[in-house]
Amino acid sequence: MPEMTVALALNDALHIALRDDPATVVLGEDVGKAGGVFRVTDGLQQRFGADRVVDTPVAESGIVGAAFGLAIAGLKPIAELQFMGFSYPGYDQVISHVGRIRNRSRSRFTAPMVIRMPYGGGIGAAEHHSESTEAMYAHTPGIKVVVPSRPYDAKGLLLAAIEDPDPVIVLEPIRAYRAIKEDVPAERFAVPIGEASVVREGSDLTMISYGAMMRDTLSAADYLEDDGVSVEVVDLRTLSPLDHETIVASAKSTGRVVVVVESPRTASLASEVAAIVGERALYSLLAPVERVTGHDIVVPLKRAERHHIPDAGRIVAAARRTLEA
Amino acid sequence: MPEMTVALALNDALHIALRDDPATVVLGEDVGKAGGVFRVTDGLQQRFGADRVVDTPVAESGIVGAAFGLAIAGLKPIAELQFMGFSYPGYDQVISHVGRIRNRSRSRFTAPMVIRMPYGGGIGAAEHHSESTEAMYAHTPGIKVVVPSRPYDAKGLLLAAIEDPDPVIVLEPIRAYRAIKEDVPAERFAVPIGEASVVREGSDLTMISYGAMMRDTLSAADYLEDDGVSVEVVDLRTLSPLDHETIVASAKSTGRVVVVVESPRTASLASEVAAIVGERALYSLLAPVERVTGHDIVVPLKRAERHHIPDAGRIVAAARRTLEA
Amino acid sequence: MEQRCILDPEGNLISEAPVGLDETERLFDAMLTARLYDRKCSAMQRQGRLATYAPYEGQEAAQIGSAAALRPGDWMAGTYRDAAAMWMHGYPFVNLLLFRMGDERGGCPPEDVFILPPSITVGGHMIHAVGLAWASLIKGDDRVAITYFGDGATSEGDFHEAMNFAAVYETPTIFVCQNNQYAISMSREGQTRSATIAGKADAYGMPGVLVDGNDVLAMLAVTTEAVDRARSGGGPTLIEAFTYRAGPHTTTDDPLRYRPAEEVDEWSHRDPIVRVRRYLQHNGRWDHDREQTVLDGVAAAIEAAVAEAEATDPYTAIEVFEAMYAEPTPVLKAQRDALLRDQGSA
Amino acid sequence: MEQRCILDPEGNLISEAPVGLDETERLFDAMLTARLYDRKCSAMQRQGRLATYAPYEGQEAAQIGSAAALRPGDWMAGTYRDAAAMWMHGYPFVNLLLFRMGDERGGCPPEDVFILPPSITVGGHMIHAVGLAWASLIKGDDRVAITYFGDGATSEGDFHEAMNFAAVYETPTIFVCQNNQYAISMSREGQTRSATIAGKADAYGMPGVLVDGNDVLAMLAVTTEAVDRARSGGGPTLIEAFTYRAGPHTTTDDPLRYRPAEEVDEWSHRDPIVRVRRYLQHNGRWDHDREQTVLDGVAAAIEAAVAEAEATDPYTAIEVFEAMYAEPTPVLKAQRDALLRDQGSA
Ligand SMILES: Cc1ncc(C[n+]2csc(CCOP(=O)(O)OP(=O)(O)O)c2C)c(N)n1
Ligand SMILES: Cc1ncc(C[n+]2csc(CCOP(=O)(O)OP(=O)(O)O)c2C)c(N)n1
Ligand SMILES: [Mg+2]
Ligand SMILES: [Mg+2]
């Protein structure tokens, strides 16, 4: 099995999709000649041609809306938005059209399409390049939202998204693009949408996270394990629809939950997980669910970003509070 | 004191703002000659002229962005977006510019402006006319979000929003525009932003809601009171920043919480309230927090809308569950 | 820019007709049908049998003439005000009515009808017609896509992005702007300072055509040219149909707040149906009885559709959850089950 | 459309100069300054002392010439690539540098500088210049607003809405499009099929001017005309400065992936600084020593700014919460306190 980074695993999935299904079309700003700003679409245009791997004008609403039309007409568009921070001009298309067409036509017209976008901070990028507004997409009806944290899931979730009969947003954690390598099967496979993964079993405490925050969450878990605390770690992998069963089962079994997101806190996925746990596992809880989150602020630039994005230290501190409660 | 509907109270607040401060400018689609589709801006252009009450082209990003420029230059723009469902083309301006300018210029430039928009369902309106995506705005840093449920608060919150040194989004519940009348002071007054209101005191159970859902919440409370249940009812009034103290105090005092929103459920304000209560009032809880919400679906059209928007029956059922837990 | 015109308001041909009298009669009948349907809807709205309705009276030629230029199988993406075009291209009355009654099943026309449900948001749907048409290029079929929108819609950023994408990829898209002089209360002059809307096509390197939108023959002619060009690889066209909304924006609107009654009166002399009636009459192809017979047939068809739509049972709570995804997600199933439980218990 | 040009690449005047030699020397010095600063930033980025940097080499004339047409107090809203224009209009080096180091205090220029922090999103800021200029009309002052953007930005819907609002309200806004032939990897031809970008102004009923963007005198001339028109109530203008980005899109970009080296080479013969140097030389106003003296002065000023920026202490955790609102909200105060607690305990 080849070793891949997240970026390579995504690239591999796109190669497979374009190779196996002539209806697949990749489009976005700089995805062709330049191979994408993170090189996720590298080599695709050379191999599959400029008609199937299409450089577009700088117009996100146009990209999403054109992809939507392509999808209705029976193609399988995979649109890239260059950063989550540049996805908002296309958001109206997502909420008003992409997520609605099946319902408003009672399945007569459907938009099986994929929108990929890098998201999240932690690399000291320029303004708007560190956004983490996945809550807004998870709150939007009619679309699914997935977010891999590692190369295996990146390939499997992207392929699952491409196969899905409904529109799927694939959030790609910038910080994880090249940070982790692992063996990933060369052939096609899918990671089912809607299934969280218990990446580590434990009995004292559950940590729940996704995307780039998984790494910090796992280091925090390591740190606590060294102290003799048995930590269960859940990688949500899909944010919409959320896997309530896995969340609830783990919360019930440990009685202590720390949920970690880098987004603003109010009405975040952390809030949702806390609400679910409070709803269905209240009587098992030994301590309040701890939300370790970004703040309700704009992601600070490089020199102060570390005050915003949770780190292992903050996760450990929160875990300790649940253990001492 | 004159009796006013919500629509009239808002109109009155706009009259006062335009009268008292020459820097105030109202702009939006059909706000002038036509007086707004809900007549909230009725009579303003006749009185204050077409330079201060401006009909704009159909372009929401343009409206928000132009208002932003006006605000930076020292005016006090009050922009209307015709419906929340048409606010999304302007959302990029809100998140990328309006909510950011103070921080990115360290207060050298600020955008004290107001964006008004009708929101919510319940009147069997056309597609996109019943949206309730306030969670997305409450999740957006750098703006405040208020939502009156009654005429008094409508006038007071709108005036407070206009006086605020930061951008404020005023959500106007369509269903409540003309549904309720009450006496409202004729003169200028403000309802402080950030303060929830305990509209009814009680000891067995807390109901938390806002906007148009307050009416159904209050009917549910009435219904239960008739059964001898003492219900405390909280009207959040401001969604960003949320008034944690009032929420937590009430939850602690009753031990039972039902939170009611009409928006989709996942990552909603209901989730946030449940998370806050679980965080700070866990040991007082006698039952899981009940979220009574819209579903994670597009608001159905008229013939099926009632299956989506919570009614007093669903609120009572949820309350009963918390009482029986 | 000159307005293309073939049939003047008096019913005289001022240039060559694109079709003969039989076909003209068909267009005339279609316009009669469209007007009857439109008036019926306004009446039903007043009776509370339909939700808000957006009448298109005055714009029948713009819609019927352009839609007549299409082939079955061509894509169409229009707005809340384009029921005449949709019907002309095959969208059944019953679906149009269901939508207006507040029932999503209205958005589900038969399988051989390639018309998207009408767009309620202004502007966002034009780019869909670009994507739909682009698919033809990629798949190598020859379907074109037509999109309808108003003068107001040209101010939205989405108009710009759609026009630009269509031109850049040379998609077979026909952009039909019905400039009916108003966007709710905003006049065309307040909407944009460009001399014409058709002229905006230049900014994209696309051909733009200004046409008398109340002249069904001119509408058919210019749209046919645009469709032919698109189908043969010549790319998109912008058509500005210069017309007038005779009625209110919707049934809740009061147009006297923003436009003088005289203006409405003036435009009534340019009614799109009257001039064809005169033309047919000049050519001995019109009599009162024939028109009445047509109208009676149409009225019966509309009544039947109304009856069918009104007989459709409203949605059940279960159905509400069924078309969000191919399969309701576990989260939706849980929400559905909770709703059923609460509806039972309340 | 013809490109306005005053000074040809050989340094010959081909039409009347808008300013005399003293002023031309000032523009020349400003361009030298801008280039030195730009190169310094690229170098600092390679040393890891700045975050990603977007060089503007090749576009100095477009920026310096246009900014020179402004008065102090006029508004400016530009992009990540417009540091030369910003500096010319009064934005201190130290602020420019701080921003690039990843410090928001870079966005806080002195009180008498009316320049918004550079826009990183493409397209969204143009409408701000419309609002800023509109305020002048409402307040009755005579400030104009200039906005800079690229060829790529013209594809965004926001360009369209900004142009339309400016024309409709006749705001004193000057739209300066630096058409540097690329939007990252996308060529100008792939971006839009319109013959010129300047021509897009027609769609809004606005004057559009095409100008040799590498000719600082032509830039000054056309911008002065636009500013004068704006200030005297004549409304907005679109200027297309035809130019070339000599370097990469940003320091992380590899332009050889999408454009031939020969093209870069060809454009190097049209360098905006060289032609002014030749012109000054023809007129006995240039010598090597003078240029070196200017450069030395500039280098010292830049070094001082770098030192000042680098000596600025990074933000504290407390400060992070301080400029979201006039006053941190109770929610933010709670989040701040929790952070301080955790940072202490970790
Ligand atoms: C994005 C968006 N903004 C605003 C509205 C509200 N609205 C509905 S119709 C309309 C006017 C549209 O005018 P025009 O495009 O000329 O079409 P017409 O109604 O005249 O057919 C407006 C502003 C909307 N539906 N969508
Ligand atoms: C809304 C948005 N979309 C995409 C991007 C990513 N991006 C940054 S610069 C750029 C190209 C802009 O090209 P152009 O407008 O020609 O300006 P130039 O960089 O050439 O100065 C793109 C696509 C962005 N910053 N904002
Ligand atoms: Mg119109
Ligand atoms: Mg460029």
* D271-322 residue pLDDT tens: 999 999 999 999 999 999 999 999 999 999 999 999 999 999 999 999 999 9
Please state, in angstroms and rounded to a whole number, the distance separating the CA atoms of residues D109 and C136.
53
What is the CATH code of the structural domain delimited by D21-314?
Answer: 3.40.50.970
Q: Assess whether D148 carries a catalytic annotation.
A: no
Q: What is the pLDDT along chain B (325 residues), one digit of tens a residue?
A: 899 999 999 999 999 999 999 999 999 999 999 999 999 999 999 999 999 999 999 999 999 999 999 999 999 999 999 999 999 999 999 999 999 999 999 999 999 999 999 999 999 999 999 999 999 999 999 999 999 999 999 999 999 999 999 999 999 999 999 999 999 999 999 999 999 999 999 999 999 999 999 999 999 999 999 999 999 999 999 999 999 999 999 999 999 999 999 999 999 999 999 999 999 999 999 999 999 999 999 999 999 999 999 999 999 999 999 999 8
- Whether the CA torsion B153, B159, B164, B170 is positive or negative: it is positive
Buried b / exposed e over A51-77, threshold 16 CB at 10 Å, is ebbbbbbbbbbbbbbbbbbbbbbebbb
Res C345: pLDDT: 63
Determine which of B63, B305, B307 to mutate to test the interface with C (most C C-beta atoms within 10 Å): B307
Residue D111 has pLDDT above 60, yes or no: yes
What are the counts of helices (DSSP H) followed by strands (DSSP E) for chain A?
11, 14
The answer for residues whose C-beta is within 8 angstroms of residue C43's C-beta and 6 or more apart is none
In chain D, residues with a C-beta closer than 8 Å to the C-beta of C202 are 194, 199, 202-203
Q: Nearest residue on chain C to B88, judged by CA atoms?
A: C121
Res D344: pLDDT: 85
Burial of D330 (0-12, 13-18, 19+ CB in 10 A): middle
Mutate to test the pocket of ligand 1, among C147, C148, C158, C184 (most ligand atoms within 8 A of CB): C184
Extract the runs of DSSP E, i.e. beta strands, from chain C. Answer: 75-77, 145-150, 173-179, 182-183, 186-187, 208-212, 237-242
Whether C122 contacts chain D with CB within 8 A: no
ipTM value > 0.95: yes
For chain A, percent of residues with pLDDT exceeding 70: 100
The pair of three-digit structure tokens given for residue A71, joined into one six-digit string: 């999808």
The answer on A165 and A247 residing in a single domain is no
Res D346: pLDDT: 47
Helix (H) or strand (E) holding D220: helix D216-231
Q: Assess whether C277 carries a catalytic annotation.
A: no
pLDDT (tens digit, 9 = 90+) per residue, C115-139?
Answer: 999 999 999 999 999 999 999 999 9
The answer on A112 and A19 residing in a single domain is yes
Q: What is the DSSP string of D112-173?
A: T--BPPPB-SSSTTHHHHHHHHHHHHHHT----EEEEEETGGGGSHHHHHHHHHHHHHT--E
In chain D, residues with a C-beta closer than 8 Å to the C-beta of A86 are 121-122
In chain B, residues with a C-beta closer than 8 Å to the C-beta of A99 are 298
Q: Taking residues D138-150, report their average pLDDT.
A: 98
Are A73 and C171 within 8 A, CB to CB? no
Q: Nearest residue on chain A to B296, judged by CA atoms?
A: A141
Atom of ligand 2 nearest to the CA of D59: 21
The answer on A34 and A149 residing in a single domain is yes
The pair of three-digit structure tokens given for residue C245, joined into one six-digit string: 């909304």
- Whether the CA torsion D288, D289, D293, D294 is positive or negative: it is negative
Under an 8 A CB cutoff, do C157 and D158 touch? yes
Q: Assess whether D100 carries a catalytic annotation.
A: no
Q: Which of A66, A97, A245 sits opposite C130 (nearest CB)?
A: A66
Q: Which contacts of D311-319 are long-range, i.e. CB under 8 A and separated by 24 or more positions?
A: D312/D98, D312/D103, D312/D105, D314/A303, D314/A304, D314/D103, D315/A300, D315/A303, D315/A304, D315/A307, D315/D103, D315/D104, D317/A304, D317/A307, D317/D343, D319/A304
Whether B103 contacts chain A with CB within 8 A: yes
Show the low-confidence residues of chain A (pLDDT under 70). Answer: none
The count of structural domains within chain B is: 2
Q: Taking residues D171-188, report their average pLDDT.
A: 98
Full residue range of the structural domain in which residue A112 is found: 3-183
Residue nearest to atom 13 of ligand 2 (CA): D183
Question: Which residue out of D26, D71, D258, D269 is catalytically annotated?
Answer: D258
Are A267 and D16 within 8 A, CB to CB? no
Judged by CB atoms within 8 Å, which residues 22-81 of B form the interface with D?
25, 51-52, 54, 56-57, 59, 61-62, 65-75, 77
Please state, in angstroms and rounded to a whole number, the distance separating the CA atoms of residues B177 and B157.
15
The DSSP 8-state label assigned to residue C313 in this structure reads P
Question: Which residue out of A15, A129, A244, A307 is catalytically annotated?
Answer: A129
Q: Taking residues C268-293, report their average pLDDT.
A: 97
Q: Which of A69, A74, A245 sits opposite C129 (nearest CB)?
A: A69
* CB D186 less than 6 A from any atom of ligand 2: no
pTM of the model: 0.99
Is residue C150 classed as helix, strand or coil in its secondary structure?
A: strand
D8: amino acid identity, one letter: D
pLDDT (tens digit, 9 = 90+) per residue, C251-267?
Answer: 999 999 999 999 999 99
The answer on A49 and A179 residing in a single domain is yes
To the nearest whole Å, the CA of A69 is away from the closest chain C CA by 4
Please state, in angstroms and rounded to a whole number, the distance separating the CA atoms of residues C127 and C168.
13
Helix (H) or strand (E) holding A231: strand A231-235
The DSSP 8-state label assigned to residue C102 in this structure reads T
Whether A223 contacts chain D with CB within 8 A: no
Cis peptide before A310 (omega within 30 of 0): no
The answer on A9 and A109 residing in a single domain is yes
The pair of three-digit structure tokens given for residue D225, joined into one six-digit string: 């005309």
The DSSP 8-state label assigned to residue B167 in this structure reads -
CA C309 to chain centroid: 21
Q: Nearest residue on chain B to A129, judged by CA atoms?
A: B96
The answer on B222 and B158 residing in a single domain is no
Residue D345 has pLDDT above 80, yes or no: no
- Whether the CA torsion A267, A269, A270, A272 is positive or negative: it is positive
Pairing between strand A257-260 and A290-292?
parallel
Under an 8 A CB cutoff, do C168 and D161 touch? no
Please state, in angstroms and rounded to a whole number, the distance separating the CA atoms of residues A217 and A234.
10
The answer on B288 and B164 residing in a single domain is no
Residue A14 belongs to a domain: yes
The answer on A226 and A143 residing in a single domain is no
Judged by CB atoms within 8 Å, which residues 190-229 of D form the interface with C?
190-195, 199-200, 202-206
Please state, in angstroms and rounded to a whole number, the distance separating the CA atoms of residues A160 and A154.
10
The answer on A281 and A163 residing in a single domain is no
Residue B206 belongs to a domain: yes
Please state, in angstroms and rounded to a whole number, the distance separating the CA atoms of residues A91 and D183.
22
The answer on B109 and B50 residing in a single domain is yes
Beta bridge partner(s), residue D77:
D147
Determine which of A51, A64, A72 to mutate to test the interface with C (most C C-beta atoms within 10 Å): A72
Res C344: pLDDT: 85
Res A58: pLDDT: 98
To the nearest whole Å, the CA of C159 is away from the closest chain D CA by 8
The answer on A230 and A154 residing in a single domain is no
Q: Which of D104, D123, D192 sits opposite A301 (nearest CB)?
A: D104
The answer for residues whose C-beta is within 8 angstroms of residue A118's C-beta and 6 or more apart is A38, A82, A83, A84, A172, A173, A174, A177
Please state, in angstroms and rounded to a whole number, the distance separating the CA atoms of residues D89 and D78.
11
The answer on B162 and B202 residing in a single domain is no
The pair of three-digit structure tokens given for residue B117, joined into one six-digit string: 């928009």
Domain stops at, among A125, A152, A183: A183
Question: Rounded to whole angstroms, what are the CA distances from C17 to C4, C20, C25, C30, C71?
Answer: 12, 7, 13, 18, 20
Whether B186 contacts chain D with CB within 8 A: no
What are the counts of helices (DSSP H) followed by strands (DSSP E) for chain B?
11, 14
- The CATH number covering residue B15 comes to 3.40.50.970
Question: Rounded to whole angstroms, what are the CA distances from D137 to A6, A257, B56, D143?
Answer: 53, 57, 16, 9
How is chain C split into domains, by residue range?
21-314, 316-346
- Whether the CA torsion D17, D19, D25, D28 is positive or negative: it is negative
Ligand 2 centre distance from Cα of residue D154 (Å):
10
3-state percent helix, strand, coil for chain A, nearest multiple of 5: 40, 15, 40
Q: Taking residues D223-235, report their average pLDDT.
A: 98
Q: Nearest residue on chain D to C196, judged by CA atoms?
A: D203
* CB D182 less than 6 A from any atom of ligand 2: yes
To the nearest whole Å, the CA of B279 is away from the closest chain A CA by 5
Helix (H) or strand (E) holding B19: helix B6-20
Please state, in angstroms and rounded to a whole number, the distance separating the CA atoms of residues B250 and C24.
73
Q: Nearest residue on chain A to C102, judged by CA atoms?
A: A104
Atom of ligand 1 nearest to the CA of C150: 15
At residue C346 the predicted structure's pLDDT band, cuts being 50, 70 and 90, is very low
Q: Taking residues D211-229, report their average pLDDT.
A: 98
pLDDT (tens digit, 9 = 90+) per residue, A106-127?
Answer: 999 999 999 999 999 999 999 9
In chain A, residues with a C-beta closer than 8 Å to the C-beta of C332 are 241
Under an 8 A CB cutoff, do A108 and C107 touch? yes
pLDDT (tens digit, 9 = 90+) per residue, D58-70?
Answer: 999 999 999 999 9
Ligand 4 centre distance from Cα of residue C13 (Å):
51
Please state, in angstroms and rounded to a whole number, the distance separating the CA atoms of residues B35 and B55.
10
- The CATH number covering residue B272 comes to 3.40.50.920
Computed over its alpha carbons, how large is the radius of gyration of chain B? 19
Neighbours of ion ligand 4 (CB under 5 A): D 150-151, 180, 183
The DSSP 8-state label assigned to residue B98 in this structure reads I
In chain C, residues with a C-beta closer than 8 Å to the C-beta of D168 are 190-193
